[in-house]
Amino acid sequence: MTDSTYDQLDSGIKLITTNSANLVILPADSGFDALRRQVTVRYSIRYGKIIAETVPAASTIRLAESEKVDFRR
């Protein structure tokens, strides 16, 4: 993926998060990370009040040993 594509994706996320009248908090390191992992909205805030909250999912891989994963690698 080119840098300009990454920047466009990141700008699109900023448009609906930090640059909006209300606020959406995503559990991601960047806009690209949010889209890549298709994260759910953690908090939705309107006029300074939390109007919706999603509890993060916990994923575990069970092979030879159990390992918690967050799909960030």
Give the integer Cα–Cα distance in Å for 4 and 36. 16
CATH C-level class of 23-69: mainly beta
Q: What is the pLDDT of residues 11-55, one digit of tens each?
A: 887 877 676 678 889 999 988 889 888 999 999 998 889 999 999
Domains of the chain by residue range: 23-69
Place of tokens 């040993």: 65
Query: Is residue 31 a contact partner of residue 9, using CB atoms and an 8 Å limit?
Result: yes
pTM, rounded to two decimals:
0.60
CA angle 54, 14, 25 (to 5 degrees): 20
